[in-house]
């Protein structure tokens, strides 16, 4: 299946050469990346948006890596951050449900979705770099106030680490099956993540067999299986080993102890959470998530006891796939109940 890469608009497809992972035992050749088929009616039906590119500069200010992002609607900005192994496609129903009243900004992290997929020699795939990317994008868009963050999976850690840097910018938080703190004391890292994080076999399965993406597409929904066309859209950006570098690095860089890279960011983000005691927060939780389970929900509630919460006992990690018709109206109601400005100024 053809991969999804950077686009130059909605015109005809083009090919772009990419350097791949430098590790000879994993990949040792150069690849071409196919442009997303925006002229494909089926693709446009499932992803009915006009994505944008943000060219991330390097330390010298030169064009470096390209982030894809959606920018739909107008109004107070709602920034939606995905995790692993998803992409902006996860939020399609929420964007469609909010863009008549809000400006929905939804980036694909570097290595994910329609964004560039560089080798580790070009991009370090660290948590700090993820937060830097988000900060650079929002600054580029001039979004420095009145932000609502919608967070899922790794998006919670990235988004709240950004919020810790700029607590005055964040006015509402919506979190679903995610974290902004270290692994809860009562929670063990699931065996499947341990293997992917710590073993060569796990890395081989993720890169070569696409095991992580395929397993997520099967096990992260619990009410009903993903329709084949939706499952295909989740897998499409991660069609070759070189396009799964981010998927692997997200697993390998889960910070569990002080000596792990990124743990300082996780720790400092958790310490910053009291700053959001007055920020309206909504926790939406699929209780059949075997990773971000009840322990994570309880930890959010411990840090932010004022948060509103709604749980779905029969839903899993991809709550927006299991129950979109229930989640989207609840998010809209929450935003309307907690306007950033007085109602008289919203019109």
The residues facing 105 across adjacent strands are 71, 79
Q: In whole angstroms, what is the distance from residue 45 CA to residue 38 CA?
A: 10
Q: Name beta bridge partners: 151.
A: 81, 175
**What is the helix, strand, coil percentage profile of the chain, to 5?**
40, 20, 40
Strands (DSSP E) contained in 19-137 are: 31-34, 52-57, 63-72, 77-81, 103-107
Question: Which residues lie below 8 Å from residue 209, measured CB to CB, with a gap of 6+?
Answer: none
40 φ/ψ angles, rounded to the nearest 5 degrees: -85, 115
pTM above threshold 0.85: yes
pLDDT of 179-195, one tens digit each?
Answer: 999 999 999 999 999 99
Going by pLDDT thresholds of 50, 70 and 90, the confidence category of residue 26 is very low
Distance in angstroms (rounded) separating the CA atoms of residues 20 and 29? 7
pLDDT reported for residue 3: 41
pLDDT tens digits, 288-302: 999 999 999 999 999
Measured in residues, the chain has a length of 347
CATH number of domain containing 33 = 3.40.50.1820
Q: Are 254 and 263 in contact (CB under 8 A)?
A: no
In a domain, 5, yes or no: no
Q: Which domain holds residue 145?
A: 15-345
Verify cis geometry, omega within 30 degrees of 0, for the bond prior to 328.
Answer: no
For 308, the enclosing helix (H) or strand (E) is strand 308-312
The domain total for the chain is 1
In a domain, 2, yes or no: no
Q: Does residue 2 surpass a pLDDT of 90? A: no
C-beta neighbour count of 44 within 10 angstroms:
14
Q: pLDDT confidence of 41, banded at 50, 70, 90? A: confident
Q: Which residues sit opposite 106 in a β-bridge?
A: 70
220 burial (CB, 10 Å; 0-12 / 13-18 / 19+) is: buried
Confidence of residue 103 (pLDDT cuts 50, 70, 90): very high
Q: In angstroms, rounded to a whole number, what is the distance separating the alpha carbons of residues 54 and 330?
A: 31
Report if residue 245 sits inside a domain. Answer: yes
User: Considering only CA atoms, which of 196, 208, 254, 212 is closest in space to residue 25?
Assistant: 208
**Any domain includes 154:** yes
Per the domain annotation, does 3 fall within a domain? no
Summarised one tens digit per residue, pLDDT across range 320-340 is: 999 999 999 999 999 999 999
Tell me the per-residue pLDDT of 304-316, one tens digit each, with 9 for 90 and over.
999 999 999 999 9
Mean pLDDT (whole number) for 259-278: 98
In a domain, 7, yes or no: no
Tell me if 4 is assigned to some domain.
Answer: no
pLDDT, position 198: 98
CB-based contact 270:186 (threshold 8 Å): no
pLDDT of residue 19 exceeding 80: no
How would DSSP label each residue in 109-120? PTTSTTS----T
253 occurs within a structural domain: yes
- What is the predicted pLDDT for the residue at 8? 30
């Amino acid at each position: 299946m053809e991969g999804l890469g950077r686009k130059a608009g909605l015109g005809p497809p083009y090919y772009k050469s990419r350097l791949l992972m430098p590790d000879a035992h994993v990949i040792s050749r150069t690849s071409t990346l196919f442009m997303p088929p925006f002229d494909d009616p089926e693709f446009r039906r499932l992803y009915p948006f006009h994505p944008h590119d943000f060219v991330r500069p390097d330390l010298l200010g030169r064009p470096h890596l390209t982030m894809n992002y959606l920018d739909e609607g107008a109004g107070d900005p709602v920034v939606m951050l995905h995790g692993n192994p998803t992409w902006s496609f996860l939020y399609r129903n929420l964007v469609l449900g909010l863009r008549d009243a809000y400006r929905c900004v939804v980036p694909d992290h570097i290595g994910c979705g329609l964004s560039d997929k560089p080798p580790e020699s070009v991009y370090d795939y660290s948590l700090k770099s993820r937060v830097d990317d988000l900060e650079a994008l929002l600054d580029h868009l001039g979004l420095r106030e009145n932000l609502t963050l919608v967070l899922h999976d790794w998006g919670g850690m990235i988004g709240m680490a950004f919020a810790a840097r700029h607590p005055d910018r964040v006015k509402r938080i919506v979190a679903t099956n995610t974290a902004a703190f270290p692994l809860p004391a009562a929670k063990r890292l699931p065996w499947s993540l341990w293997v992917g994080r710590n073993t060569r076999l796990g890395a081989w399965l993720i890169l070569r067999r696409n095991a992580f993406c395929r397993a997520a597409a099967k096990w992260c929904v619990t009410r009903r299986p993903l329709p084949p066309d939706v499952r295909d859209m989740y897998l499409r950006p991660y069609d070759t080993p070189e396009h799964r570098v981010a998927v692997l690095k997200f697993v390998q860089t889960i910070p569990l102890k002080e000596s792990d890279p990124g743990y300082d960011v996780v720790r400092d983000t958790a310490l910053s959470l009291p700053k959001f005691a007055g920020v309206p927060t909504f926790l939406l939780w699929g209780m059949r998530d075997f990773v971000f389970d009840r322990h994570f929900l309880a930890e959010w509630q411990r840090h932010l006891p004022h948060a509103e919460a709604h749980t779905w006992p029969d839903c899993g990690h991809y709550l927006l796939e299991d129950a979109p018709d229930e989640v989207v109206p609840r998010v809209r109601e929450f935003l309307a109940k907690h306007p950033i400005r007085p109602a008289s100024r919203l019109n």
